[in-house]
Amino acid sequence: MRWFVLRATLAAAIVATGSQAADAATPAPSVSQKPVGAFGMQSAPVMRYPNVPLHSEVVVEVNHKGQVVRVKSTKPSKMQTFNLQTYGNALQMWIRKPDGSAETGLYRVTYDYDPKTRKVTRNVAIVSTGGNWGNEEGAADVMMDLVKKQAEAAHKQQQEQNAKLPSLNQIRGASPSPKPTPAATLPP
């Protein structure tokens, strides 16, 4: 334990003397430093909200459970990130009646962003009832199944890679259970 403290003290002394000489030769930075928050970490990035109102529409197919099956069409806003967020939100939606029942059909989902309140309002309206997608699985369930399959495949691939690695004994060149030799044992 003492050698570690001694080594750490020596290393700190060397760094301190080296940094003093380097500080004298280094010019002051011309770019301002980022503010540091609690625990010495940099503060969170500043969110930049749009200054203009945004509107996008997404037409979705809904199954008999109320899950969105797929996006049929979109009318994008002028901001790409807003469009991506609304598209992703629409794919994960459930559209049901207040009593909990659902109706298969096409629905229009509108998203309106108000720059004064910085809030997004979402409205849902039915376009038409029925459709041949009533028994299809919801898009969110399909995505979750895909992620599960990808994780299982990655895990299987990792196990196959690990099986090909040599054992520690092979790397060291030792047998799995070395037997003590008389020369290796110490006298009593």
Mind listing the pLDDT tens digit for each residue in 14-48?
445 544 444 445 555 555 555 555 566 677 788 78
Which helix (H) or strand (E) segment holds residue 48: the answer is none
Residue 29's pLDDT is 52
pTM of the model: 0.61
Closest residue by Cα to residue 126 from 109, 111, 112, 140: 109
Q: For residue 181, what pLDDT is reported?
A: 63
70's enclosing H/E stretch is strand 68-75
Query: Can you give the pLDDT at residue 41?
Result: 67
Positions in the chain short of pLDDT 70: 1-41, 174-188
SS3 9: helix
- According to the model, what pLDDT value does residue 22 have? 45
Q: What is the pLDDT of residue 114?
A: 96
| Mean pLDDT of all residues belonging to the chain | 81
Identify the three-state secondary structure at position 188: coil
pLDDT at 169: 79
- How far is C-alpha 69 from the chain's CA centre? 24
What was the pLDDT predicted at 36? 58
